[in-house]
């Protein structure tokens, strides 16, 4: 994915292109808040969600709960990638499928590409 935004001529992407959803905070109960999805891919009715975290940054408890719940009994799989966003270098991958964390280990960009290819192959064959 390429972000077609030039911060030097169009300003900060976050400030210029990302809405502040704070106005919806009182619409939900408890700690529920709107969050962002860093990436998404659909193939054959299956959905792969991608979450990018900084090196060593853990998931929040809310994210863990959400990823477990949305992957249980569905065609949704979540890849949580830790790495250096500025240089697009990943060092860790966690995978949620079937309501569980099924993979949690070191992974570079090449390994993540392999996981993505495997996901698409299985999605197209209805094997997820």
Count of domains forming the chain: 1
Residues with Cβ within 8 Å of residue 18, at least 6 apart in sequence: 36
Q: Is residue 28 part of a domain?
A: no
Q: Which domain holds residue 103?
A: 36-124
pTM of the model: 0.86
pLDDT of residue 71: 98
- For residue 32, pLDDT over 90 is answered with no
In a domain, 31, yes or no: no
With bands split at pLDDT 50, 70 and 90, how would you rate the model's confidence at 110?
A: very high
Q: What is the pLDDT of residue 96?
A: 99
pLDDT in tens, 60-83: 999 999 999 999 999 999 999 999
pLDDT > 70? residue 3: no
Query: Strands 46-54 and 76-84, how do they pair?
Result: parallel
Question: Cβ(103)–Cβ(125) under 8 Å?
Answer: no
């Amino acid at each position: 994915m390429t972000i077609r935004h030039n911060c030097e001529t169009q300003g900060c992407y976050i400030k210029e292109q990302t809405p502040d959803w704070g106005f919806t905070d009182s619409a939900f109960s408890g700690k529920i808040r709107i969050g962002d999805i860093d990436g998404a891919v659909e193939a054959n009715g299956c959905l792969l969600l991608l979450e990018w975290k900084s090196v060593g940054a853990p998931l929040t408890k809310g994210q863990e709960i959400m990823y477990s719940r949305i992957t249980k009994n569905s065609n949704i799989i979540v890849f949580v990638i830790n790495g250096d966003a500025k240089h697009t270098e990943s060092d860790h991958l966690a995978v949620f499928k079937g309501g569980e964390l099924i993979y949690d280990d070191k992974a570079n960009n090449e390994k993540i590409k392999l996981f993505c290819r495997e996901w698409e192959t299985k999605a197209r064959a209805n094997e997820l």
